[in-house]
A = this chain, B = another copy of it.
Amino acid sequence: MNSTNEHFRPVALQHACRLINHGPTVLVTSAHDGRRNVMAAAWSMPVEFTPPRVAVVIDKHTFTRELVAASGVFGLCIPSVSFVDTTYAVGSESGRSVDKFARHQLVARPGPVLGVPLLETGCAAWLECRLIPEAHTEDAYDTCFGEVVAAAADERIFSGGHWQFGDDNKALHTIHHLGGGNFVSAGASFRAAQP
């Protein structure tokens, strides 16, 4: 898969939505006509498992929104604890006048289906998505829907179709934005009693 992180493995599409089921902050990646961008987004969620579909809020004034609208595709990359400073940085500046990949020395790999730039270094997983155009919700709520066409994850933290959060892989745990640069990481895993 031309991976930039040797630990990444493909995730079956029927498991792809599990990657964001627990509400991690994501990085939205985009490209069009020779330009590209990456921004942080705290607001995303699955809306369907099969076919795997997601919703993500992308402000209509952002450069990312412009690229996504023009290209019809986007990526959702899931940053790890180790990547929190870069995540916050790319969420605090516009890519309209600067290539944030170059500024932050980010190496992207092209998505296997759509060629969307995807991040693996510093990230635990990614989803490559095709925009499902929904003019009204994009306009009224900045909410963009997409269908996941490919996904992959670091096998040290997601394997067998499930997240594996443990004490031995804390640097890879997902991060969840509380606001203003404050984050909480995914902590202890536990299993509810079976009803």
Contacts and interface: CB of A to CB of B under 8 A. Distances in A.
A188 B189 contact: no
Given A55-B55, A141-B47, A142-B47, A22 B93 contact: no
A193 interface: yes
Interface string A180-192: 0111111111111
Number of copies: 2
Interface of A: 18, 21-25, 42-48, 53, 55, 57, 81, 84-85, 87-89, 92-93, 134, 136-137, 141-143, 145, 162-163, 165, 173, 176-179, 181-195
Q: Which has the most chain B C-beta neighbours within 10 Å: A21, A47, A178, A194? A: A178
Nearest to A44: B45
Contacts of A178: 18, 21-22, 162-163, 189
Q: Which has the most chain B C-beta neighbours within 10 Å: A48, A89, A145? A: A48
